[in-house]
């Protein structure tokens, strides 16, 4: 665990050093688990993200832009009521636990001074953000409610008394302890040395314990003291470690990992890089679950529909045989009588002179039987064109659905809102009833911007609304347009004429990255001038045809894409 008790303490010190005596000026809730505070302190504005996510619980300064929901949640409204305009009195950690208290002094509706504490509990799936009335130690509300049915010993609901999570009876790692006592504690444990350190000292995770044992070899008492002293003095090295299968972060160097290490100026900058993409993808996943399920169901229905249509098309192959039966009935009309159930006739079209048994309706006259066969033949022939058209339209719809599903996978929360609007306009989901203020304001299309290594501006459409705007309205005729070949993906445009070869390659890599082929290698990407890209009348959003294109093969590179992001 990277975000252990000692990391929490270091993070608390970093935040407290800048925000104590600061004024809370803005509160938003970007997702179900996150709260974003904007604090004015020491002549600067700071954005502090608090997260109670089951996997990404954390708190730190952020420079990232979080999308603000159009309507604030009830919890947001309550936080604004009690904390907006309040002064941060203190930011403290509870012992060495992953619990942080932000004490705020504010005024109520009649101007009386009041104290509120915002508690951030960073405990995996039990993480929470809780607002407390300091005087009464009463819970005003929390981002997650825990009723008695879930935990009878610790209720987290409005009106309940706040009770801290049970303390772990462990030793303070910063407290002076003799070498003899230290090894006595370690050797009396039935666990390994690193596990014993975790069990006996508060705030230490297996990650840190493994480093202590690794660096200290068999005699790691001195290593333990040295590391604890560095942490106490603030001699930190916020680092991101890249291993083959995963990434880890910590606030000191971890030599036992033997991994590629990137050092950051602060803990917040480290966490901003590590968490933002992961947390944003999770927010999109939360918000897009219903859309993905709907689109996958439509896709599944269409695949079954195509299967049935192709079966019907196979049935139309019998049309010529049915026509032959009608002709043979007509040729042998003299031998037929009403009431016959079948007739065996010579097949004049068979070179071997074989016969054919033709079923008849006993209720029809010979001429009516012949006419029934000719009518069936005509229906089958006429249905061929209709069935082929239906298959074509259904395949096109599936391509559109697959494109939207791909766009959801790489969407930001803002992109997701535009995708939802598009699906409402195309009839896949119900339109939201907007308030009058929302109806009058037309939402501006915002594109992702990248700067190539040679300085050219690259624009990317992350959904069909953005793709249509970029390709059909914004881009100039002479500018280069990129799209993965026969693969759902984003439209990418290089602004300006005569781009460099480097910009062309990087634009192709971005197009491949924001496509269904993100995890593939050697992805074909077509590019041509905007003048050769056309949108057919009546086509689905984001659909275009193009000609006179070149193709380049590239491998998506996430690190490069993030580096080029403006």
How high is the mean pLDDT in each 10-residue block of the chain (566 residues)? 91 97 95 94 96 93 83 94 96 95 92 94 94 95 91 89 89 92 85 90 94 87 93 94 88 92 94 81 76 91 92 80 90 91 89 88 93 90 86 91 87 81 86 54 78 96 93 95 94 95 96 92 96 92 94 92 87
Virtual CA dihedral for 364, 366, 369, 370, nearest 10 degrees?
Answer: -160
What pLDDT was estimated at residue 442? 54
What pLDDT was estimated at residue 517? 92
DSSP annotation of 460: E
Rounded to whole angstroms, the Cα distance separating 443 from 147 reads 41
Rounded to whole angstroms, the Cα distance separating 68 from 58 reads 19
Asked whether the beta carbons of 141 and 77 are under 8 A apart, the reply is no
336's CB contacts (< 8 A; 6+ apart) are 329, 343, 360, 366, 369
Phi, psi of 275, rounded to the nearest 5 degrees: -95, -30
Rounded to whole angstroms, the Cα distance separating 470 from 489 reads 14
What pLDDT was estimated at residue 443? 63
State both tokens at 287.
Answer: 């918000």
Angle at 93 between CA 88 and CA 95, to 5 degrees: 150
Domains of the chain: 5-142 (2.30.310.10), 179-263 (no CATH), 286-442 (1.10.287), 444-564 (no CATH)
Among positive and negative, which fits the CA dihedral 282, 287, 289, 292?
negative
Rounded to whole angstroms, the Cα distance separating 465 from 475 reads 14
SS3 77: helix
359's CB contacts (< 8 A; 6+ apart) are 341, 342
Neighbouring CB atoms inside 10 A of 268's CB total 24
If residue 436 lies in a helix (H) or strand (E), which one and from where to where? helix 436-440
What pLDDT was estimated at residue 432? 67
pTM of the entire predicted model: 0.66
Asked whether the beta carbons of 224 and 208 are under 8 A apart, the reply is no
Q: Which residues pair with 240 in a beta bridge?
A: 249, 262
If residue 417 lies in a helix (H) or strand (E), which one and from where to where? helix 413-425
What pLDDT was estimated at residue 439? 47
SS3 105: strand
What pLDDT was estimated at residue 437? 46
CA distances from 313 to 304, 308, 322, 518 (A): 14, 9, 15, 36
Rounded to whole angstroms, the Cα distance separating 311 from 305 reads 10
Terminal C-alpha separation, the chain: 32
**Which residue is listed with tokens 């002709």?**
327
Closest CA to 289 of 402, 396, 420, 398: 420
What pLDDT was estimated at residue 434? 54
What pLDDT was estimated at residue 1? 64
State both tokens at 375.
Answer: 């009518």
Rounded to whole angstroms, the Cα distance separating 406 from 400 reads 10
What pLDDT was estimated at residue 172? 94
């Amino acid at each position: 665990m990277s975000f252990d008790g000692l990391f929490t303490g270091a993070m608390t010190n970093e935040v407290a050093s800048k925000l104590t005596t600061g004024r809370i000026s803005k509160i938003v809730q970007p997702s179900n688990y996150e709260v974003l505070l904007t604090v004015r302190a020491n002549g600067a504005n700071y954005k502090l993200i608090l997260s109670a996510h089951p996997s990404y619980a954390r708190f730190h300064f952020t420079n990232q832009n979080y999308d603000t929901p159009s309507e604030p949640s009830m919890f947001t409204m309550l936080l604004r009521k009690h904390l907006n305009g309040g002064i941060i009195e203190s930011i403290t950690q509870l012992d060495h636990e992953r619990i942080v208290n932000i004490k705020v002094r504010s005024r109520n509706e009649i101007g009386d001074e009041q104290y509120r504490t915002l508690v951030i509990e960073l405990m995996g799936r039990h993480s929470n953000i809780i607002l407390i009335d300091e005087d009464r130690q009463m819970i005003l509300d929390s981002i997650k409610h825990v009723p008695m049915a879930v935990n009878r010993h610790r209720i987290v609901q409005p009106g309940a008394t706040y009770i801290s999570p049970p303390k772990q009876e462990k030793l303070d790692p910063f407290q002076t302890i003799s070498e003899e006592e230290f090894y006595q504690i370690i050797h009396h444990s039935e666990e390994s040395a690193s596990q014993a350190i975790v069990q006996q000292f508060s705030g230490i995770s297996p990650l840190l314990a493994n480093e202590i044992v690794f660096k200290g070899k068999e005699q790691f008492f001195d290593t333990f003291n040295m590391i604890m002293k560095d942490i106490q003095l603030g001699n930190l090295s916020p680092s991101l470690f890249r291993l083959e299968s995963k990434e880890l972060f910590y606030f000191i160097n971890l030599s036992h990992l033997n991994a590629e290490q990137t050092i950051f100026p602060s803990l917040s900058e480290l966490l901003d890089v590590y968490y933002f993409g992961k947390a944003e993808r999770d927010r999109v996943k939360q918000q897009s679950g219903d859309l993905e399920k709907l689109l996958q169901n439509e896709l599944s229905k269409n695949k079954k529909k195509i299967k049935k249509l192709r079966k019907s098309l196979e049935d139309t192959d019998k049309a010529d045989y049915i026509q032959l039966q009608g002709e043979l009935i007509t040729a042998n009309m003299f031998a037929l009588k009403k009431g016959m159930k079948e007739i065996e006739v010579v097949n004049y079209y068979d070179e071997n002179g074989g016969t054919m048994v033709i079923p008849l309706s006993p209720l029809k006259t010979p001429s009516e039987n012949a006419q029934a066969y000719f009518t069936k033949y005509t229906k089958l022939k006429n249905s061929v064109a209709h069935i082929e058209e239906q298959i074509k339209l259904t395949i096109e719809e599936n391509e559109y659905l697959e494109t939207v599903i791909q766009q959801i996978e790489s969407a930001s929360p803002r992109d997701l809102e535009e995708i939802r609007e598009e699906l409402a306009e195309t009839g896949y989901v119900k339109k939201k009833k907007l308030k009058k203020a929302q109806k009058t304001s037309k939402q501006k299309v915002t594109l992702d911007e990248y700067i190539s290594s040679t300085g050219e501006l690259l624009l990317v459409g992350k959904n069909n609304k953005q793709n249509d705007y970029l390709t059909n309205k914004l881009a100039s005729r002479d500018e280069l347009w990129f799209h993965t070949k026969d693969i759902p993906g984003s439209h990418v445009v290089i602004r300006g004429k005569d781009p460099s070869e480097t910009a062309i390659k990087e634009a192709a890599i971005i197009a491949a990255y924001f496509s269904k082929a993100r995890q593939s290698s050697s992805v074909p990407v077509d590019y041509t001038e905007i003048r050769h890209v056309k949108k057919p009348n009546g086509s689905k959003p984001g659909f275009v045809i193009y000609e006179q294109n070149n193709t380049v093969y590239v491998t998506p590179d996430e690190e490069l894409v993030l580096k080029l992001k403006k």
